[in-house]
Structure 1
Amino acid sequence: MTQKPPIGRDTRLCMSLSARPGNYGSRFHNRLYELTGLDYVYKSFSTTDLPAAIGGIRALGVRGCAISMPFKEAVISLIDDLAPSAAAIDSVNTIVNDDGRLTGHNTDYGAVRTLIADIDPATPFVLRGSGGMAKAVAAAFRDAGFAHGTIVARNEEAGRGLAALYGFAWRGEAEGAAPILVNVTPLGMTGADAERLAFPAAMIERAAIAFDVVQYPPETPFLRATRAAGARVITGTEVATLQALEQFVLYTGVRPTDAQVDEAAAFARG
């Protein structure tokens, strides 16, 4: 393992912006910097002034920034370019700074495509959520061949818009049954929503696959309930690892080995 240089004036900074910052991304990226010997450091931040934060990225030469809820759509007007991965779904989860020019990417989409690749696309699903991450997930399902999907969102305008964009149905409330349940909301996340189930118990008991994009805690009430009912679960940590790996490559130009990624992911979970 190449020795990582001590932090100094040449160290490159990467960061994240989120309403509720967690530790997974910081631990994952910083561990990979150590394993690959790269002179980088990664720090998570929150903000109530998104334009100022993006201006700081540009002015201070921050190399890259991960974008999480609720900024994935709002950030688009503040940057210079969109890579195809972000332009296709109007949602940004990654900013790369090339000499002051900020380009938005979306690595969530590819992560979701990878995680659902072995599921029969004829299987119906219900997706709860209508924000930027929901766009990435819905697009991934559509592009993987899933045609029988329902978007659940209380915001009728946003929910109907997302459903129409990808050819799915819309409902205001979660009801009925579907083999695949997907949560793309903060329900189950730490804070006020920590104990809330993303779907009614009756739907959970009949599901075969539960997919929750909430990263922390790794086991949300929704996932615990579906696992107890015998369903397969796909966790937000799995999404976080795959999308963060692609961010790492965008920021550094280096693709770590599978063993390094596994070690960094285990370190981040610990």
Structure 2
Amino acid sequence: MNTISRDTRLCMSLSARPGNFGTRFHNHLYAALGLDYVYKAFTTTDLPAAIGGIRALGIRGCAISMPFKEACIPLLDALDASAAAIDAVNTIVNDDGLLRGYNTDYRAVRELLEQRVPPSTPFVLLGSGGMAKAVASALRDAGFADGTIVARNAASGRALAARCGCAWQPQLGEVDGALLINTTPIGMSGAAEAEALAFPPSAVAVAHSVFDVVALPEHTPLLRLARALGKPVISGAEVIVLQALEQFVLYTGVRPGAEQVAAAARFARG
């Protein structure tokens, strides 16, 4: 572990429920690359004061998780195109007091989609929150034109569908041959529905492929079922590594090698 001094640069995260993945991932890479940085996870009940602290204390960067991805925007000075396009921020970079918001979730999701799924594939996306915005926008920008947003909240569901040029419906409908995407907390460790399936087995059985953005656990109930049925999958564990890597590059200006990133991801998962 690097020795902390007055010159050590601090990076952090803000979340309602802080986890250990980002802390372990970033600090592992700082040590491996000999960078004088340290990373610490925080939560807050006073978001304006927390964002003001980033500026006032010269904190280099901050990862933003729910429920702060949209609420932080009025407190920033500028938005990168990745955040402006979807009105959601998951990364803040502090350049000499100027706070700019980015969305590395969007970047990671788009990269994975372009690598794994033909854009002609229809999709069904469950959810309409901040992560749903990132995924839906990545789908749109990667050329996926035939899609449906499934969300019980009619206002946010309709708004997201309109933004991304797809349909909205309050309940699951036809999914035969579709890419199924879960952006809700269903299946997440510690959530009320940790053991539940975001989509019923009958839907998974006729799906083209399955994408679950839940990162913890690495193997969610939905992904376990999809793999058992022989369906191609994209996991939230893959997304979290790619988005954390892009945060690391934004904070430090250094891009680690693939083996270093893989080692950091293994360490972060404990």
TM-score by length of 1: 0.95
1:63 maps to amino acid: R
1:196 Cα offset (Å): 2.0
1:226 Cα offset (Å): 1.4
Q: How does 1:180-219 map to 2 (within 5 A)?
A: 180-191=179-190, 192-219=192-219
- Partner residue of 1:87? 84
- Provide the rounded CA distance (Å) in 1 between the counterparts of 2:18 and 2:236: 14
> What is the SS of the residue equivalent to 1:217?
coil
- Provide the rounded CA distance (Å) in 1 between the counterparts of 2:5 and 2:171: 52
- Provide the rounded CA distance (Å) in 2 between the counterparts of 1:184 and 1:49: 26
1:29 maps to amino acid: H
1:150 Cα offset (Å): 0.5
- Partner residue of 1:222? 222
- Provide the rounded CA distance (Å) in 1 between the counterparts of 2:17 and 2:219: 17
1:20 Cα offset (Å): 2.2
Stretches of structure 1 lacking an aligned partner (at least 5 in a row):
none
1:99 Cα offset (Å): 1.9
Greater shift, 154-163 or 112-121, is seen at 112-121
> What is the SS of the residue equivalent to 2:108?
helix
1:5 Cα offset (Å): 3.7
- Provide the rounded CA distance (Å) in 2 between the counterparts of 1:256 and 1:199: 36
**Structure 1 segments of 4 or more deviating over 6 A?**
none
Task: Write the deviation string for residues 170-190 of structure 1: whole angstroms up to 9, x where unpaired.
Answer: 011223324211111111112
- Provide the rounded CA distance (Å) in 1 between the counterparts of 2:203 and 2:50: 41
> What is the SS of the residue equivalent to 2:94?
strand
- Partner residue of 1:53? 50
Conserved? CA contact 1:175–1:200, under 8 Å: no
Conserved? CA contact 1:91–1:136, under 8 Å: yes
Task: Write the deviation string for residues 12-58 of structure 1: whole angstroms up to 9, x where unpaired.
Answer: 11111122222111111111101110011111122222222212212
- Partner residue of 1:144? 142
Task: Write the deviation string for residues 184-220 of structure 1: whole angstroms up to 9, x where unpaired.
Answer: 1111112212122111222122223111111111111
> What is the SS of the residue equivalent to 1:116?
helix
> Quick check: 1:165 aligned with 2:163?
yes
- Provide the rounded CA distance (Å) in 2 between the counterparts of 1:204 and 1:46: 36
- Partner residue of 1:268? 268
Conserved? CA contact 1:174–1:200, under 8 Å: no
1:242 Cα offset (Å): 0.7
Q: How many residues align?
A: 267
- Partner residue of 2:11? 14
1:104 to 101, 108, 111: 101
Q: How does 1:62-141 map to 2 (within 5 A)?
A: 62-118=59-115, 119-141=117-139
- Provide the rounded CA distance (Å) in 2 between the counterparts of 1:20 and 1:125: 30
2:209 maps to amino acid: I
- Provide the rounded CA distance (Å) in 2 between the counterparts of 1:53 and 1:188: 30
- Provide the rounded CA distance (Å) in 2 between the counterparts of 1:228 and 1:19: 33
> Quick check: 1:156 aligned with 2:147?
no
TM-score by length of 2: 0.95
- Provide the rounded CA distance (Å) in 2 between the counterparts of 1:232 and 1:224: 11
- Provide the rounded CA distance (Å) in 2 between the counterparts of 1:170 and 1:17: 31
2:175 to 166, 174, 177: 177
**Pairwise CA RMSD:** 1.3
Task: Write the deviation string for residues 227-270 of structure 1: whole angstroms up to 9, x where unpaired.
Answer: 22211111111001111111101101111112211211121123
- Partner residue of 1:28? 25
> What is the SS of the residue equivalent to 2:72?
helix
2:14 maps to amino acid: L
1:255 maps to amino acid: R
Aligned-pair identity (%): 67
